[in-house]
Amino acid sequence: MANWLTREALERLVDGLVVTVGLTIVTTFGALLLGGILASGRRSRSRAIRRASGAFVDVFRNVPALVLIIFFAFAVPTTVPQSDRAAVFFDNWLWNNLDGLTGVPIPYYAVAAAAALIANAGAHLGEVIRGGLSTIPAEEIESARLLGAGRFRLWWSVAFPGALRSSFPAVSSRLIHNMKNTALASFVAVPELFHSMQGEITRSFRATEFLALVALIYLGLAAAFSMTLQRVETHLLRGRRG
């Protein structure tokens, strides 16, 4: 093993990798859910809902992810007076348990980063899925409704999968971009892979080695994620067709 890649360094990088994967999974599901909600909101009969969804998409697509992360992590706590801040955001039953469970020292920052990423990716997906929704032939919806499908069933079994299927490349691309964005959470001390790498670089004073190694790891993650999404598309989405 190369002398710069000590056992401790490798362990710390792996710890970071685990957090990255966890963060990716949480934000992927969150973004898909939010994207679906926004997409249908944009096509709602209620004008208020249409406008609200549209505004949300506009705001969270156009503000960079990093700015959102900083905002949720640092700016939001300032809405609470200084004396109560710690009790609400950092030091109560909820946060202390999360800390113990996940090993993340400041859970609120991780939650804030995840929320920012979900809002950002969800807004983008909202646009993409909306496009996908419009490609579903009206007959399909009609026939499902005739067969007695309720509104939720209609959405879950026909509209949503159909929209995802037809907009799949764009959805996949956005989800992979989101995975790479998890590296931005390092700015608010979330101990994911990029953050671990930064620590190792300062500890050992060896930048190129760790940068190249972690670049390789991200490439591997992107490839694995891409293949997983392909599998999901082939089996889960296509399989639903009658």
Partner 1 sequence: MDDVTFIWRSLPELLIGFPGHRPGGMLLSILLAGVSVSVGGVLAAGFGTMSASGQRALRLPATAFVWIIRGVPLILLLLLVHNISSSAALLGTEGTPTRSALIALTLYSAAYFADPIRAGLQSVPPQLIEDATLLGSSRSHTLTYVRLPFAIRSMFPGLTTQAVTIFKDTSVVVVIGVADLTTNAQLVLGADVANSDRWIPLYLTVGALYFIAALVLTKLASAWELRLIGRRSSLDVRPA
Partner 2 sequence: MKKIHLITLLLVTSLLAVSCGSESATSVSDIVSESATVKIGVRNDNPPLSFVDEAGNWVGFDVDLARAFATELGVEPELVVVDGTTRISFLQDGTVDMSVASMNHTRDRDEAIDFSITYFWDNQSFLVRTGEFTSIEELAGATVAANAGSSTIASWTDYLAHRGLPGPEIVEFSDKLAAMEALRAGAVDGYTEDNITLLALAAGDPSLELVPGGHNPVQFGVGVPVDDSRWRDQVNFTLQGLWTSGTFLEIYEKWFVGEARVLDLPLGGEMEIWP
CB atoms under 10 Å from CB of 111, counted, come to 19
Rounded-to-integer distance, Cα 188 and Cα 105, Å: 11
- Residue 32 amino acid letter: L
CB atoms under 10 Å from CB of 205, counted, come to 8
Q: Cα separations (Å) of 239 from 28, 155, 224, 231? A: 21, 16, 22, 11
Look up residue 153 and give its two tokens: 């069933």
Which residue of 10, 223, 227, 236 would you call a contact of partner 1, by CB under 8 A? 223
Per-residue contact flags (x/-) with partner 1 for residues 14 to 43, judged by CB under 8 A = ------------------------------
224: contact with partner 2 by CB under 8 A: no
Q: Of 22-30, 59-67, 93-101, 228-236, which part binds partner 1 (CB under 8 A)?
A: 59-67
Q: Is residue 89 a contact partner of residue 203, using CB atoms and an 8 Å limit?
A: no
Closer CB to partner 2, 212 or 236, in the complex = 212
Look up residue 130 and give its two tokens: 């909306």
Q: Which residue carries 């710890």 as its tokens? A: 15
38 binds, among partner 1, partner 2, none (CB under 5 to 8 A by kind): none
Q: Is residue 4 exposed (0-12), middle (13-18) or buried (19+ Cβ within 10 Å)?
A: middle
Instruction: Please give the residues from 112 up to 171 whose contact with partner 1 meets the rule CB under 8 A.
Output: 127
Which residue of 86, 207, 227, 236 would you call a contact of partner 1, by CB under 8 A? 207
Residues that bind partner 1 (CB under 8 A): 54, 57-59, 61-68, 70-71, 74-76, 78-79, 127, 180-181, 183-184, 186-187, 194, 207-208, 211-212, 214-215, 218-219, 222-223
Residues that bind partner 2 (CB under 8 A): 3-4, 74, 77-78, 82, 85-86, 89-91, 99, 105-106, 108-109, 186-189, 191, 195, 198-209, 211-213, 215-216, 219
